[in-house]
Amino acid sequence: MEEENIYIYHLPHAERRQLCIILDQNNVWEELAGTHMKYDITTIYLLRQEILRGKSPTDELLTLWGQQNHTVFELFILLNRMKHYQGMMIIKQFVPAPYHKLIKRAEHNINRLLGDIKLQNDQKIRNDKIPICNLDKIENKPQYHLRYAEALRGHRQCPIYHVLLNQQERYRVAESAGAIPQIPYEELQKSTDNWSQINILGKGGFGIVFKGTWKCTKVAIKRIEQKENSRESHIEQMKQSVTELHCLNAYRHDNILPLYGYSIGGPQPCLVYQYMSGGSLDSRLKIVDPNRVLQWPKRLDVAIGSARGLQYLHTIGEKPLIHGDIKSANIEATRP
């Protein structure tokens, strides 16, 4: 069954399941997705959420990658770059025979490496009646220790590697947020009475906005929801939310709603804003009660304030920053 162009989605269930099991261990799939398949941090974060749903992130990654008509042969090459020979063995039968030598070459190198280490240990035992590990002399024999470390690092199954990777990803998010604090998901859940329906302020394409009380302060919490059967749409939502986080940290203005904090790592990412008691312009425009209707002078104030905020975004940098979704539902009619 050696076919160079067998697609990922045609990989038999047994081999695919076996591959998912070993790549899920120690989150090895994250290196495959980020370093070799070139997926961004947002996509990797979303794939990581499959664990919370009791699913395999590797399986979801292969589904996503397979939608671009990638082949098992391409996956074989990526696993070779990772030096993940166990994974290569699983899909070996679906790859042209000339490329099987990549595994044989790796086995030869590993055997030679182990032989060198064994030879060193045998010589040490013969020379010393009582073997002693002398830490001061390690630097005198760098060739063995370096090569062994490279073998471990190449396989990418050491948990330390993934701890560093996760720390790097979180650092990037924290760097975008700047001084904006990261809030534990549990605190936001508590502040909204476990996301009570009573506290819903509104719903939109990106998720649900709740009213909550956090740190004795009323806030509006946007909880980003994933739409069923629309992963690509959700990825785009996440990317825009990360952009929103970065922009609200970088650009402050009286007519731009302040961001108090953000939350990642929980079941759903959240953005926490200042709560505006006046409600949205959309809700105010729909009022028919003559005693509460939005008067024309106030409407003019809202229009001028919105224009000021947009003008600031359009001129603050070398390139205009475009909001892209200006509508009455996204404009607050009053400020406290």
**Domain boundaries defined on the chain:** 1-177
**CB burial class (10 A; 0-12, 13-18, 19+) of residue 23?**
buried
Q: Residue 245 has which token pair? A: 């986080």
Give me the residue label for tokens 């679906």: 94
Confidence of residue 187 (pLDDT cuts 50, 70, 90): very high
* Active site members: 325
> What are the phi and psi torsion angles at 69 (to 5°)?
60, 35
> Each residue of 218-234: pLDDT tens digit?
999 999 877 665 566 65
Q: Residue 277 has which token pair? A: 């008691």
Confidence of residue 10 (pLDDT cuts 50, 70, 90): very high
Q: What is the mean pLDDT of the chain?
A: 75
Long-range Cβ pairs for the range 265-269 (8 Å, 24+): 265/185, 266/184, 266/185, 266/186, 266/188, 266/189, 267/49, 267/52, 267/185, 268/185, 268/207, 268/223, 268/224, 268/225, 268/226, 269/45, 269/223, 269/224, 269/238, 269/241
> 1-177 domain in CATH 1.10.533.10?
yes
Report whether 227 belongs to an annotated binding site.
no
Of 14-18, 134-138, 279-283, 295-299, the poorest mean pLDDT is in 134-138
**All residues at 6 or more sequence positions from 77 whose CB lies less than 8 Å from its CB, including other chains:** 99
Of all residues in the chain, the percent with pLDDT exceeding 70 is: 69
Mean pLDDT of 154-170: 39
Of 28-37, 111-120, 266-275, the poorest mean pLDDT is in 111-120
Contact assessment for residue 220 and residue 229, using Cβ atoms and an 8 Å cutoff: no
What are the Cα distances from residue 326, in Å, to 129, 307, 315?
80, 11, 17
Distance CA 133, CA 138 (A): 9
Cα maximum dimension of the chain: 100
pLDDT at 103: 79
Of all residues in the chain, the percent with pLDDT exceeding 90 is: 22
DSSP 8-state assignment for residue 226 = P
Contact assessment for residue 79 and residue 157, using Cβ atoms and an 8 Å cutoff: no
Q: Residue 322 has which token pair? A: 């475009």
Tell me the HSE value of 169 on the side-chain side, using a 13 A CA sphere.
20
pLDDT at position 118 over 60: no
Amino acid identity of residue 43, one-letter, is T
pLDDT at 263: 85
pLDDT at 114: 46
DSSP assignment of 122-167 equals: HHHHHH-SS----GGGGGG-HHHHHHHHHHHHHHT--HHHHHHHHH
Q: Compare 316 and 117 and report the one with higher pLDDT.
A: 316
